Structure 1
Amino acid sequence: MCGRFALTATPEEVVEFFSTVSIDDFPQRYNIAPTQPILLVAAGDRPAPGSNQPARSSLLARWGLLPGWVKDPKEFPLLFNARAETAIEKASFRAAMRHRRVLVPASGYYEWHRPEKGGEQKPQAYWIRPKRGRLIALAGLLETFASADGSELDTAAILTTSANAGLAPVHERMPVVIDPQDFDRWLDCKTQEPRDVADLMRPAPDDLLEAVPVSDRVNSVANMGPDLQLAVVPENPPSRQEAAAGKDEAGQLSLF
């Protein structure tokens, strides 16, 4: 699951990492939540200078996908995540998987480790970021919802998959991360059908991300400062059994 993330890179860093012509105005945000605007990168219509590939473009969309066939958005659940294993088949995501795959720029995301059922311990928040300090590209889906009054709203969801060994002690799911070398293939909805990019919807490499325990201030969308990402001593770290799943070949935890 991915219910909160952050994008704190400069516009110049986003343009360079995603090879976009430009990006929509998007300030540093440390606590992005569903229903809020998020930045997306999509394939463009015109070739980039000196390339056969379309120049990538950017747009803003509401985080929470609304399929085109929805009649009343108030009666439809908030789809901010889509399971990669079933998105190709689900009516809510089928069209977007075929025609409107996008990238979601992120500096990292937040996840909560929830103690075993029956306990009184509260969930422990983690800031999950690239180990090497780079941006990451989350796999996204885009739908433009047209309301009865003729207005249109771009909406989006983030694809999730099973967690890799390093992050499984925190949570069993993680967002799909697209490698830069696969950007063109993921965004190419003209020649690459969903089955052609199914191999990209896999857990990220174990050495790509690290989980940093942070305070529960991130639980409130009203808190939006960089202090949300400061490391703390975890009150409720993963149990011995859960942590064992995150050990690397040397027998050391890759979680922290």
Structure 2
Amino acid sequence: MGLRKKVAMATKKQLISIKGISEVKAEKMLKAAREMVNVGFTTAADVLESRKDLITLSTGSNAVDELLKGIETGSITELFGEFRTGKTQLCHQLCVTCQLPVDRGGGEGKALFIDTEGTFRPQRLQAIAERYGLDGDSVLDNVAFARAYNSEHQMQLLVQASAMMAESRYALVVVDSATALFRTDYSGRGELAARQQELAKYDSLLALEGLRLKKGRGENRVMKVVDSPILPESEAIYSITEQGIQDELN
């Protein structure tokens, strides 16, 4: 629903700027998205009631889940931080937990994974699935994967993801990493303005909640909320194990 809403709020000009989307196709996409998503006025009481039905996904760590109240579906969460802090690990973790029943911290849905840096590892999903008593092969079947090779291709895949979510129950979309290909495609100093323009198009489809990840002691890592409309700026400690993200190791 999050991506459908972003499409519904986009302008026709923004959609046409994406390679492969004609004016006619953009009009059809906008019409379909706006029919599925209410983009007009509503009451604050209705907003409160709708948020009661929001599904949140477990990260695998009780401490992090307590910090975030889970990863909220229907919105976009940005992970950033230094190398080896667990950003990609958490993405893999969520691809599994999103398939769990709601009462176990899942979304009872599939996952979409757009990989821009070649970091996707299906065997990692199988190891995490074992922790939750899930069949590894079934978990893999419920993850739709695509490798993006340039920034234009990445934008096309994001639009395809929106269409797929309209046809089946997907609880999660992962883009790892969201900005790497833009940095590569527009690497020269003279292309900085063009890169910022393309990133602005991409960002127009996204609403971000920012989480900074950093290294702690040993295998422990620290997650800090740095940008959120509802969460206070605070931290939680977690660890990276063979079976995914878990609470901190003593």
TM over 0.5: no
| Between structures 1 and 2, the one with greater helix share | 2
TM-score tier after normalising by the smaller chain length: under 0.3
**TM-score normalised by the chain length of structure 2:** 0.24
Larger fraction in strand: 1
TM-score by length of 1: 0.24
**Larger RCO, structure (CA 8 Å, separation 6 or more):** 2
